[in-house]
Homo-oligomer: A and B are copies of this chain.
Amino acid sequence: MQLFYTPDITDSPIYYLSEEESKHCIRVLRLQLADHVNLIDGLGGLYEAEIIDAHPKKVALKLLSLQSEFEKRNHYLHIAVAPTKNIERLEWFLEKATEIGIDEISLLNCARSERKEAKAERLNKIITSAIKQSLKAYHPQLNEITPFQKLVTQPFNGQKFIAHCEPGHKLQLKDAIKPNGNYLILIGPEGDFTPKEIEDALQNGFEPITLGNSRLRTETAALEACFEVNFLNR
């Protein structure tokens, strides 16, 4: 069934698609009066609705049913990653992490970051199309670029990890995470975190982890962490 992302949906029994979505619905998808569609609000709500006015600029939908907390995960994952020099690598991480399961992403500004800014609007569009494609009722939250120091010192109610390539004692996630928990994982830039950043993280309660023996690119390491957390909570 066709799916629309409707974050502005209310408890009114009728919902009107935006002009752009209406055009897409009628002109592109060629949906008609009485056709059924799905709506996701990005907060866990999955609706079934019926087209009661196939107006090409203002489609009217009658809400038929609502499933709350649709496929709610049993854990909360927040990954903070330094944006890659090649923005496409960050973009596909966002798409894949959304498919596999993530709740919050922060973009980290580190000492060795190759990229200091990224357009949240475009990145959010990628996340939105990924939730539609993979039928996720929760829209992951994307945070603006955050200085490393600010992120490691801000409060987080859960387990905190930092993945880095410097020598020293490290845990494997499978030995470290408590199931059904909240997790914040830091993934560094192409040149890795600096020893000072690692030290600051450890002093702020982050546990050092390894993501295996392979030399992974930044976006691959971030996806590996996302995969491991979801896998270990299955």
Residues of chain A having any CB pair with chain B under 8 Å: 71, 92, 96, 99-101, 133-136, 172, 174, 212-217, 220, 223-224, 227-228, 230-231, 234
- One complex includes copies of this chain to the number of 2
Are the C-beta atoms of B92 and A217 separated by less than 8 Å? no
Closest-CB distance, A120 to chain B (whole angstroms): 23
Closest-CB distance, A99 to chain B (whole angstroms): 5
List 14 extra interface pairs beyond A99-B216, A174-B231, A212-B230, CB under 8 A: A92-B92, A96-B220, A99-B217, A100-B212, A100-B214, A100-B216, A100-B224, A133-B215, A134-B216, A172-B234, A212-B231, A224-B227, A227-B228, A228-B231
Are the C-beta atoms of A99 and B220 separated by less than 8 Å? yes
**Nearest CB to that of A100 among chain B residues?**
B214
Are the C-beta atoms of B227 and A231 separated by less than 8 Å? yes
A228 — which chain B residues lie within 8 A by C-beta? 227, 231
Closest-CB distance, A210 to chain B (whole angstroms): 10
A234 — which chain B residues lie within 8 A by C-beta? 172, 212
Given the complex of chains A and B, what is the CA–CA distance between A220 and B213 in angstroms? 22
Closest-CB distance, A30 to chain B (whole angstroms): 20
A230 — which chain B residues lie within 8 A by C-beta? 212
A136 — which chain B residues lie within 8 A by C-beta? 214
Are the C-beta atoms of B100 and A134 separated by less than 8 Å? no
A71 — which chain B residues lie within 8 A by C-beta? 213
A224 — which chain B residues lie within 8 A by C-beta? 100, 227
**Nearest CB to that of A232 among chain B residues?**
B231
Are the C-beta atoms of B134 and A214 separated by less than 8 Å? yes
Given the complex of chains A and B, what is the CA–CA distance between A213 and B213 in angstroms? 28
Are the C-beta atoms of B101 and A217 separated by less than 8 Å? no
Given the complex of chains A and B, what is the CA–CA distance between A217 and B231 in angstroms? 17
Are the C-beta atoms of A215 and B172 separated by less than 8 Å? no
A220 — which chain B residues lie within 8 A by C-beta? 96, 99-100
Q: Given the interface contacts A224-B227, A227-B231, A231-B227, does A135 sit within 8 Å of B99 by beta carbon?
A: no
